[in-house]
Amino acid sequence: MSEFLLAAAGSVLLLVAVGLVRILRGPSNVDRMMAAQLFGTGGIATVLLLGAATGAAAAVDVALTLALLAAFASFAFVKAAPGDNEP
Amino acid sequence: MNIVLDWITIVAVTAGVFFFLAGTAGLLRFPDAVTRLHALTKADNLGLGLVALGLIAQAHSAAVVFELLVIWVLVVLSGSTAAQLIARAQRRGDAQP
């Protein structure tokens, strides 16, 4: 089971890395932010799978923190986007 | 019982990886920002949900099950909210020359 979970973690990490090509290609900052969002979601999945594969119980806490930080990243991007005149 | 749980994990995690594949393919292949946002936010959150479901079958304690569920609910809530906000930022950007 642990080999399967490791392989799944590797696959998700590879897919996230391929998705980061969108940061290079753009064209707008919105597209780059989406790639960062994919990195957040995929990173959580990778940490969870790695934690289950290696038996590291603390990995679930790391994933929870990562979920919070990924949410803040998106909201900070939207607040900093040009044209945001709301208080 | 263990074999049943292992199969649940294998099926759910494989389906989750497939949805991550779909999300990445959508992010790279779809023609404009809003369609890419659509592909990304749906497919990824479902993929993470399936991965979490698969790992719940392997969890040893109720606390871990609860924590996995909390992570998924948090990601779904923040993902859907962020999708709306990002789409709005995109429209504002379109309106400004």
The three-state (H, E, C) secondary structure of B80-93, written as one string: HHHHHHHHHHHHHH
Could you tell me the residue range of the domain that residue A8 belongs to?
Answer: 2-79
**B18 interfacial to chain A (CB closer than 8 Å):** no
**B17 interfacial to chain A (CB closer than 8 Å):** yes
d(CA A12, CA A10): 6
Confidence of residue A85 (pLDDT cuts 50, 70, 90): low
Residue-wise pLDDT for B73-95, tens only, equals 999 998 888 888 888 887 777 66
Residue A33 domain-assigned (yes or no): yes
B-proximal residues of A, 14-43, CB under 8 Å: 15-16, 18-19, 21-22, 28, 30-31, 33-35, 37-38, 41-42
Residues of chain B with pLDDT below 70 are: 1, 94-97
Confidence of residue A10 (pLDDT cuts 50, 70, 90): very high
Residue A29 domain-assigned (yes or no): yes
Could you tell me the residue range of the domain that residue B71 belongs to?
Answer: 2-95
d(CA B25, CA A19): 8
d(CA A8, CA A51): 12
Number of domains in chain A: 1
**What's the CA dihedral at B65, A41, A73, B76 to 10 degrees?**
-60
Residue A86 domain-assigned (yes or no): no
Number of domains in chain B: 1
- Model confidence, pTM: 0.87
**Residue B72: which of A17, A66, A5 has the closest Cα?**
A66
Average pLDDT over residues A14-33: 85
**Residues of chain A found within 8 Å of residue B46, distances taken between Cβ atoms:** none
Percent of chain A with pLDDT over 90: 30
Average pLDDT over residues A30-35: 85
**Residue A74: which of B70, B57, B21, B77 has the closest Cα?**
B77
Residue A71 domain-assigned (yes or no): yes
Give per-residue burial for B58-67: e unless 16+ CB within 10 Å, then b.
bbeeeebeeb
CB atoms within 10 A of CB B5: 15
Residue A84 domain-assigned (yes or no): no
